[in-house]
Amino acid sequence: MPKYTIDFDDSFDESLNALKDSTDATTKADVIRRAVSAYKYLKNETRKGGEIAVTDKTGRVKKSVVLP
Protein backbone atom coordinates (compact mmCIF):
# COMPACT_ATOMS: atom_id res chain seq x y z
CA MET A 1 0.00 0.00 0.00
CA PRO A 2 1.43 3.42 -0.89
CA LYS A 3 2.16 5.76 2.00
CA TYR A 4 2.02 9.55 1.96
CA THR A 5 3.43 12.20 4.23
CA ILE A 6 1.27 15.31 4.34
CA ASP A 7 1.69 18.35 6.58
CA PHE A 8 -1.54 19.84 7.93
CA ASP A 9 -2.03 22.88 10.10
CA ASP A 10 -3.55 22.57 13.58
CA SER A 11 -7.00 23.65 12.41
CA PHE A 12 -7.14 20.90 9.78
CA ASP A 13 -5.95 18.33 12.32
CA GLU A 14 -8.72 19.43 14.69
CA SER A 15 -11.25 18.99 11.88
CA LEU A 16 -9.94 15.49 11.15
CA ASN A 17 -10.16 14.55 14.83
CA ALA A 18 -13.70 15.94 15.07
CA LEU A 19 -14.81 13.94 12.03
CA LYS A 20 -13.14 10.79 13.34
CA ASP A 21 -14.84 11.17 16.70
CA SER A 22 -18.28 11.98 15.28
CA THR A 23 -18.41 9.18 12.69
CA ASP A 24 -17.63 5.49 12.59
CA ALA A 25 -14.21 6.20 11.06
CA THR A 26 -11.48 4.50 13.04
CA THR A 27 -8.52 6.72 12.12
CA LYS A 28 -7.79 10.11 10.60
CA ALA A 29 -6.48 8.26 7.54
CA ASP A 30 -9.89 6.57 7.29
CA VAL A 31 -11.56 10.01 7.31
CA ILE A 32 -9.30 11.15 4.46
CA ARG A 33 -9.92 7.96 2.44
CA ARG A 34 -13.68 8.39 2.80
CA ALA A 35 -13.49 12.06 1.88
CA VAL A 36 -11.55 11.29 -1.30
CA SER A 37 -13.99 8.51 -2.20
CA ALA A 38 -16.97 10.82 -1.66
CA TYR A 39 -15.35 13.58 -3.73
CA LYS A 40 -14.59 11.13 -6.54
CA TYR A 41 -18.20 9.92 -6.58
CA LEU A 42 -19.65 13.44 -6.53
CA LYS A 43 -17.24 14.64 -9.22
CA ASN A 44 -18.15 11.69 -11.47
CA GLU A 45 -21.86 12.38 -11.00
CA THR A 46 -21.52 16.05 -11.93
CA ARG A 47 -19.41 15.19 -15.01
CA LYS A 48 -22.32 13.07 -16.26
CA GLY A 49 -24.64 16.05 -16.04
CA GLY A 50 -25.91 15.26 -12.56
CA GLU A 51 -26.55 17.88 -9.94
CA ILE A 52 -25.70 17.86 -6.25
CA ALA A 53 -28.52 19.21 -4.13
CA VAL A 54 -28.91 19.62 -0.38
CA THR A 55 -32.50 18.92 0.63
CA ASP A 56 -34.50 19.25 3.81
CA LYS A 57 -36.47 16.39 5.36
CA THR A 58 -39.39 16.98 3.00
CA GLY A 59 -37.18 16.70 -0.08
CA ARG A 60 -37.30 20.40 -0.87
CA VAL A 61 -34.01 21.61 -2.35
CA LYS A 62 -32.29 24.01 0.04
CA LYS A 63 -29.05 24.48 -1.87
CA SER A 64 -27.23 23.34 -4.99
CA VAL A 65 -23.54 22.56 -4.78
CA VAL A 66 -21.06 23.08 -7.60
CA LEU A 67 -17.70 21.32 -7.39
CA PRO A 68 -14.61 22.98 -8.84
In-domain check, residue 2: no
In-domain check, residue 29: yes
Number of domains in the chain: 1
Tell me the residue range of the domain where 24 lies. Answer: 10-65
In-domain check, residue 58: yes
Q: What is the pTM of this model?
A: 0.78
pLDDT digits (tens, 9 = 90+) for 41-55: 999 888 887 789 999
Burial of 11 (0-12, 13-18, 19+ CB in 10 A): exposed
Whole-angstrom distance, CA of residue 51 vs CA of residue 61: 11
In-domain check, residue 50: yes
* 22 against 68, higher pLDDT: 22
